[in-house]
Amino acid sequence: MAEPRRGSTSPSRPAVRFDLDDPVLAAAAWSRVAEPGDVVAGALVEHLGAAGALRWLVDAATDPAGAWRAARIDRLPLPESPTVPGGPSPGVRDGADAVSRLAAAVRRWAPRLDSLDPRRELRVLERCGGALVTRDDPHWPAAFADLGPTAPFALWVRGRADVAAWAERSVALVGSRASTRYGERVTEELAAGLADRGFTVVSGGAYGIDASAHRGALAAAGTTCAVLAGGVDRYYPQGNDGLLRRTVDDGGAVLSEVPPGSAPFRQRFLARNRLIAALTRATVVVEAARRSGALSTARRAADLLRPLGAVPGPVTSMASAGCHGLLRDGAAVCVTSAAEVAELAGRIGHDAEPDGPADGDDLLGELGPDERMLRDALPLRSGATVDGLARSAGLSPRRVLTLLGGFERRGLARCDAGRWSWVR
C-alpha cells in the first residue's frame, strides 16, 4: 500500500461552521459523526452532554493529549463494545483501556468533522416537512433509555413527531422481504386489527412483510411508522416510495437516527433494528426464513426484555422457518391474531384477551362421564333393559335408573314396555 495517501489525514483543526454550544445542533452533529450504536460516542455524550462532547472531540482531533487531561476523560466508564451488531468495532484490541479506545474513536470520528454542518441537514429535513427530536425533547421516547450507551442521539422524523406519545401504544411487525402471499395476508390482517385497537404499527419500510404491515395499518385508517436505515430525505427502497409517502400523509411517521443524506448501509439496517425493538411495546415476527435479518430485530427485542411474538406458518414453508425456530427455542410466544398480539403488547389489565371456549368434545360438553357412557350404551331403536344398560355402561342399575330419569325429563330417552332407547 502506498504510504503517501496517509499524509493527507494528518490532524488539523477542523473548520466548524456552526454554534458548538447549541445542544440541538450538537445532537444532530453526533448523529452524523458517530455511526449508530457507537458505545464510545454514547458514553461520551452521556458524560459531557452532546455539546460538551462535541467540543471535546474538536479539541481532541487536534491535540489528543490535551483533551484527555482537560476533561478527565480517562475515567470515562466505557461499556464493553460493540454491544450492538450494527455498532462499530472498538478499533483496538479487546480489553484496551479507556484512553486507547477513545483515541481509536477520535480517529474514526475526526474524518467527519471537516464537512460537518448539521444546520444544512436540518434545512433538508425542514424542506421535507420533518422535525428533529433530541433527548431533551418532551417527545423523546423514554423507552430508548433501555438502550443505554447505544441509544440514538437524535431522531430525524417526517410526520408525527410526538414519538413518545404514539410509541406508548405501538407494536413492531417485522419479517422477510422474501415473503409469501400467506405472510403478507396475515401481516395485513394483524396490522389492521392492531390499528383498530389503537396501536401504532411500526416496521422497517422494506419490501415484503414490512410493507404489508404499513399497508394493513393504513387500510384500517391507523397510524404506522417506518424506521429507516438511511436518511429520511430519501424514501428507501424506491419501490415503497408511495407507501412511505402515504405513511407520513395519513398521520404516521417515517424516522431515522441518521441525518438526511446518509446512505442505507447494511450495517445501519442491523443497527436500525434495535430502534424498532426498543421503541415498541412488543415485536412480532410474521414470516422469516432461518437466516432472515428480521431475526436480528427479534433478538434485540429479547435482549431488551420486550415481549416477542412469532406467527407460525406451514412447516413446509421456508419463509416461516425462522418463526418456528423462535417458538422452538422458547424465545417467542406463538401469536395468531391481532387480539393475541394486543395481549402480548398490552399493559396488565388492558387488552387481555378473554379466554376462548374450554377445550373438550363439543357434543359431550353438557353430559357427565356416567351420562355419556349411558348415552353411548342406549340403543337408538330396539331399546334395552336397565340391567342390560348397567352391564354395557359399567354402571350400577340404580345409577342407570337415576340417569335415565334425568334423560327422560330432558326428553333425551324414552321407555317402551320396560326397554329404554335414545330419543334423538
Question: Taking CB under 8 A as the rule, does residue 408 contact its own copies?
Answer: yes
Residue 174 backbone phi and psi in degrees, to 5 = -130, 165
User: Which positions ≥6 away from 295 have C-beta within 8 Å?
Assistant: 285, 288, 322, 325, 326
- Position among 12, 350, 405, 410 found at the interface with its own copies (CB under 8 A): 405
What are all long-range contacts of 398-404, with beta carbons under 8 Å and residues at least 24 apart? 399/370, 400/374, 403/370, 403/371, 403/374, 404/374
Stretch that binds its own copies, among 65-73, 93-101, 102-110, 208-216 (CB under 8 A): 102-110
The answer to whether residue 12 forms part of the interface with its own copies (CB under 8 A) is no
d(CA 30, CA 37): 12
Whether the CB-CB separation of 217 and 195 falls below 8 Å is answered with yes
CA 185, distance to chain mean position in Å, is 19
Of 42, 175, 260, 293, the one binding its own copies by CB under 8 A: 293
In this structure, what DSSP letter does residue 117 have?
-
Rule CB under 8 A: which of 104-133 touch its own copies? 104, 107-112, 114-115
Q: From the CB of 412, what's the least distance to its own copies, in Å?
A: 14
Q: Which residues from 360-389 bind its own copies, rule CB under 8 A?
A: 360-362, 364, 368-370, 372-373, 376-377, 385-387
Q: Which amino acid is at 287?
A: E
Which of the stretches 22-30, 137-145, 205-213, 326-334 binds its own copies when contact is defined by CB under 8 A? 326-334
Residue 410: is it exposed, middle or buried by C-beta count within 10 angstroms (0-12/13-18/19+)? exposed
In angstroms, give the least distance from the CB of 300 to its own copies.
13
By rule CB under 8 A, what string of x and - marks binding of each residue 169-188 to its own copies? Answer: -------------x--xx--
Residues in 19-58 that interact with its own copies by CB under 8 A: 34-35, 38
Q: Closest CB to its own copies among 49 and 86?
A: 86
Site stretch for its own copies (CB under 8 A), options 19-27, 71-79, 157-165, 353-361 = 353-361
* 391 forms part of the interface with its own copies (CB under 8 A): yes
What b-and-e string marks burial along 191-206, b requiring 16 or more CB atoms within 10 Å of the CB?
Answer: bbbbbebebbbbbbbb
Helix axes 64-71, 39-62, angle to 10 degrees: 120
Residue 76 near its own copies by CB under 8 A: no
# chain residues binding its own copies, by CB under 8 A: 92
